[in-house]
Amino acid sequence: MALADDVVKNIDRNELIELALAICNIDSPGPTEAQVAEYIFNWFQKEGFRTRKIGLLSDRFNVMATLPGSGGGCSLLFNSHMDTAVRFTDTWTRKDPHLDVYHKAWIEGDELIGEGIVNDKGPMAAFMIAAKAVKESGVQLKGDLVLTSVVGETSHEPSDGPPGAVIETKDLGARFLVTHGGVADYVLVAEGTGFSMVSVEAGMVWLKITWVSDQPGFYTPYLPTRTTMRESPNMIVRAGVAIEALERWASEYEEKCSYKTQQGAMVIPKAQIGAIRAGNPNGISSTPQICSLYLGAFTVPNQDPLRLKDDVEKALKDAGVPASEIEMYYFRRGYEAKNCEKLTDAVRKAHVETFGSEPPAPNSPTCSMWRDINIFNEVGVPAITYGPRSDSHSFKRSFTVDALYKAACVYARTILNLCNQEKPAPLK
């Protein structure tokens, strides 16, 4: 306790703010993480950490820094992602993708503001400064401390274009890291949880749902007299009926498939239509014979994605608009952490020592999304996520300077606790 207090006293609040603003003002919407990755790599090198670039692509690489332990202790890996979610090219998904809040960071009063601050370079700066304070204290950890910054957590994925048309994928980020040496006994993913300890996250299924007309592509003057939307030769019109049916299905789905962990955390898997393709805006004088909707659904651990697909197909049939084809083009499974008690105990203790109270219970949204803890839990490395969370999620995303500082304090205390615990002997 006294040692941890001394280390925490060496966490420089101003240095933390400066680092957070520095890396958050290097705009890094995927796939443009290279500049901030170089900055982070150089920072770790300057601070005397053992550093390594881990990436399949020269301009999209993960950064891993290590503070080696003396041996015999538990190793701990921190992880955050460098990519931010909003790009200048997102003109069909955002009404204002150019706003500074998506690409820059700044201070207003006691608040740090910006998409990158919240998701996810602010928490990254917190564990970087925490690790520096531990290193500069001269404390010899028994277990290795590993610090990782990855690409592609908010990545786009290929859908129905030719191979190579979209060369992004989450496989370039934490998955590539973990299969190329980025492993430890425990993983703490530093992301926004409102300082609750989250040990479960949702998976994802993306479906392409297509309607193909069995009628001609009528030139508008020859369009038959209208009957019902279900019978329309225009597949956009028919898809309109399907949208209503899919909205009803999504409402029932999240209620029917909710998942509660033994610790009481709730995963509520939500779904929505994220894209539509049909017709040609440069030539709209004939009936579109093809229309595709793209449905994204989050899933709970152990959920069967094929049954989900079957349920969507049934919902459309029951609504009188059966699809010509339903194709699953993306699937990632959700996981609940196993054997993570040492980590959760260390984080809980560090939280209490920092805040003077127990961590709050996780709220459902923080358990019902995709995060990189799934990658580590998939390969059997116990992982949880913990960090400061923005209270505003619509436009001006932010959290206080004090929240980021306290995150750094919790991270430093967790390092000193967990990395100095003896690693259990292997089972014979």
Catalytically active residues are 83, 153
Cα–Cα distances (Å) from 211 to 159, 277, 289, in that order, read 17, 11, 8
Runs of H (alpha helix) within 149-304: 174-178, 235-256
Cis, bond preceding 31 (omega within 30 deg of 0)? yes
Residues 6+ apart with CB under 8 A from 199: 261, 263, 265, 336, 337, 340, 344, 373, 383, 384
Contact between residue 404 and residue 341 where contact means Cβ atoms under 8 Å apart: no
Nearest to 189 by CA among 350, 76, 352: 76
Cα–Cα distances (Å) from 277 to 234, 271, 290, 321, in that order, read 13, 18, 8, 17
CA distance linking residue 332 with residue 311, whole number of Å: 18
CA distance linking residue 247 with residue 319, whole number of Å: 12
| E-only strand ranges, 133-245 | 145-150, 186-189, 200-201, 203-212
Q: Which residue has the tokens 């990755």?
A: 37
CA distance linking residue 375 with residue 382, whole number of Å: 10
Contact between residue 253 and residue 207 where contact means Cβ atoms under 8 Å apart: no
Amino acid at 188: L
CA distance linking residue 389 with residue 371, whole number of Å: 14
